[in-house]
Structure 1
């Protein structure tokens, strides 16, 4: 999602979040965890900032990654947020209070199994809140319009909700009943709304409201606009506000699009949001709704865990098939999917020879783009048994171990080579 003045709302945030969590734990290993229990919080914050800044500067390749579509690197974004924290000691005080409460209950919990993960989550929560404060301030400066951190959170929720609605409309055959509920009519053929939906600005507020309403019947848990949380209270009965916010997101994304569209969100991206929505939904009496930040974390962590399984448990000569099985399981595909799909392709075809240097997920992404999710020429081994179609771009990106923007770039490069070869032959 792009909004004027914001720098932390795009997919690059995932790498910033992971880097800040990783480097915070490394910094505490040098300063000692007692810094979080220090009564002199101002001095403790200064010690933490100095330590984590040194670790961040040594972050290497991850820090050099692009963090957003404006050219900021992951390291630059992470450092900016750390220095912003020093200017907002109240947020540090909240973190220390949470750590002290856990310490009073469990002792030095960071030394227990899983303790590092719990501490890292507290830092993740700290920086997620701080991020929205920074971006909402910058939005106000850029637009001259008021924007609270809670409103920034609501923008992100609506952007993610739109992407999920788009995913359902494009996959209407598999989600016929839910799409009918969203559109308010029985669906017998492809809805015209799916063909007309080109971006978030085309989405209608009532679709978002009905989508949220459908979630309790499908999953047994209320959607973000139907919890008892006060976070979205101003939107629940104000479709005109929802429509205006959707329009604003779409307008700025259109204005700031960079031609290659590498940072625009595919409809399939929201699948990760919804998959983890049910797990992380706060079931407290307040019925609060988790932020979209928590949504993609599990997906990335799953890849990290897959790498760990391959490194630690598989013999060297078995790592490729084990990784195949682990990744296939993560994306709900049959074990040995990549192996079977590769064996099923026509190795003698001109297209396969032209794309010989590309990975199988890239080749499948090419077919998905050129011929659609289903074609009679596709071998059965290429298809996802759950849908009878090719895997989605999200699934293929996970199988290839790359981000969706990277997969799109590689797919488009392969298509360009095919087109060039056809012109030469013609």
Structure 2
């Protein structure tokens, strides 16, 4: 299932879940797990857990499961797993809920994590933790992308409807073997090949009443109630709201159609697409032309967004070529070691961030405006405004393997944030530059 901003709702989630579960079990064997029953140790144990799982993920980064496709945007299972692990530190409530669940089991069974036969119990609790975090992360990114309210429960509902559609599609495809249930779904007796089984080409063509009737028919034909007809109150109101179901089905269908040609994790406009690069080059040429015309007269501040971004790209290009600078404050040996470990996991030189940070002049215009942003965010800004490859970039900024700036996926991992969060912060940083570039002179 595809929805704006989401990354964990597609086919690769099962492999992400299994990889995180496997690495978590490895980490638990090395941790002082008895500390999990002590609330005062939860924060420290989370740090140790994150480091241990990250190390296990990096050690298996070249395995078939880790390199498998995680979603239709180009994120691998390894990349999605690492991003979700880092999100756990940013949203520790899910770790605390996991610790509480383990403590309850410990009260019943003692140190059950020491029993190899109980690994399944521990893995189930890890799965629950990451499943909740997954939906929270995707719901937050959906809000950022669309500006519309969303909750983890609503993401769960979208996924339920998508699953229901696929179940119905399977019944329609094999309607001769399931004629009675297909008739129950369509609300009529089947006589001959039903035209609906040929007309429904996507989830956008699935009708809300079919979902409701399918759920109602499940107990009779599949042996257990459908999701809208269980004793749970999660979807109780939805079975009486076909208009809500129809709107959610249409949204999934519309976005899947819109994004059908996406083959990498990027903006809808395609940050690295040829059209975007051409447009950025166009803005820059226009800016250079206007500067030439204005050499003998006072420059008028740009009135259009295109002109403003052209000037902004020129300013950024000047800053990129300015030279070397010192280390950003606030870094110690541990921070540098973490940076080197992350860079190595992304096939970048171990000292990539350290050297790239030193290759930008401390007093540059862009750095003065974006001094509070991390280096990966600033590099994402340059990539957006100038493209992945530009003659003004210092060599230390480039990935030796490509001769270009790291991809947005690499930059997000370096910054230990998700892809949608990186794009949100990058766009906010560009807004800051644009505002500073168009502000009236004092």
Q: What is the TM-score with the length of structure 2 in the denominator? A: 0.57
Q: Tell me: higher relative CO, structure 1 or 2? Use CA pairs within 8 A at least 6 residues apart.
A: 2
Match of 1:140 in 2: 143
Gaps of 5+ in 1: 261-426
Output aligned runs, 1:361-376, within 5 Å: none
**SS of residue matched to 2:229:** coil
Distance 2:115 2:51 in 1: 26
**Equivalent pair of 1:155/1:245 in contact (CA under 8 Å):** yes
Match of 1:116 in 2: 119
Determine whether 1:215 maps to 2:218: yes
Distance 2:114 2:96 in 1: 22
CA-to-aligned-CA distance 1:230-253 (integer Å, 9 cap, x gap): 211341210000001001101111
Match of 2:27 in 1: 27
Range with bigger deviation, 33-42 or 199-208: 33-42
**SS of residue matched to 2:70:** coil
**Equivalent pair of 1:201/1:251 in contact (CA under 8 Å):** yes
Gaps of 5+ in 2: 264-442
Output aligned runs, 1:16-415, within 5 Å: 16-39=16-39, 40-59=41-60, 60-61=62-63, 62-112=65-115, 114-258=117-261
**Equivalent pair of 1:35/1:48 in contact (CA under 8 Å):** no
CA drift at 1:69: 1.2
Range with bigger deviation, 138-147 or 58-67: 58-67
State how many pairs are aligned. 260
CA-to-aligned-CA distance 1:262-315 (integer Å, 9 cap, x gap): xxxxxxxxxxxxxxxxxxxxxxxxxxxxxxxxxxxxxxxxxxxxxxxxxxxxxx
CA drift at 1:219: 3.8
**SS of residue matched to 1:191:** coil
CA-to-aligned-CA distance 1:321-344 (integer Å, 9 cap, x gap): xxxxxxxxxxxxxxxxxxxxxxxx
CA drift at 1:205: 0.3
CA drift at 1:226: 0.7
Q: Which runs of 4+ in 1 moved over 6 A?
A: none
CA-to-aligned-CA distance 1:1-25 (integer Å, 9 cap, x gap): 0000000001011111010000000
Report which of the two structures shows the higher radius of gyration computed on alpha carbons: 2
**Equivalent pair of 1:36/1:44 in contact (CA under 8 Å):** yes
**Equivalent pair of 1:2/1:9 in contact (CA under 8 Å):** yes
Match of 2:328 in 1: none
Match of 1:7 in 2: 7
CA-to-aligned-CA distance 1:93-146 (integer Å, 9 cap, x gap): 110111111111011222335301110111011000100000000001101110
CA drift at 1:35: 4.1
Match of 1:356 in 2: none
CA-to-aligned-CA distance 1:202-224 (integer Å, 9 cap, x gap): 00000000000001122442210
**Equivalent pair of 2:98/2:129 in contact (CA under 8 Å):** yes
**Equivalent pair of 2:84/2:134 in contact (CA under 8 Å):** yes
Distance 1:88 1:35 in 2: 20
CA drift at 1:64: 2.1
Match of 1:398 in 2: none
**Equivalent pair of 1:37/1:96 in contact (CA under 8 Å):** yes
**SS of residue matched to 1:114:** helix
Q: What is the TM-score with the length of structure 1 in the denominator? A: 0.59
Match of 1:388 in 2: none
CA drift at 1:65: 2.0
Distance 2:30 2:262 in 1: 45
**SS of residue matched to 1:233:** coil
**Equivalent pair of 1:38/1:44 in contact (CA under 8 Å):** no
**Equivalent pair of 1:200/1:247 in contact (CA under 8 Å):** yes
Distance 1:195 1:220 in 2: 27
Distance 1:56 1:37 in 2: 26
Distance 1:237 1:114 in 2: 45
CA drift at 1:77: 0.8
Match of 1:317 in 2: none
CA drift at 1:180: 0.7
Distance 1:117 1:76 in 2: 25
CA drift at 1:259: 8.1
Distance 2:130 2:93 in 1: 13
**SS of residue matched to 1:223:** coil
**SS of residue matched to 1:119:** helix
Distance 2:169 2:229 in 1: 20
**Equivalent pair of 1:95/1:126 in contact (CA under 8 Å):** yes
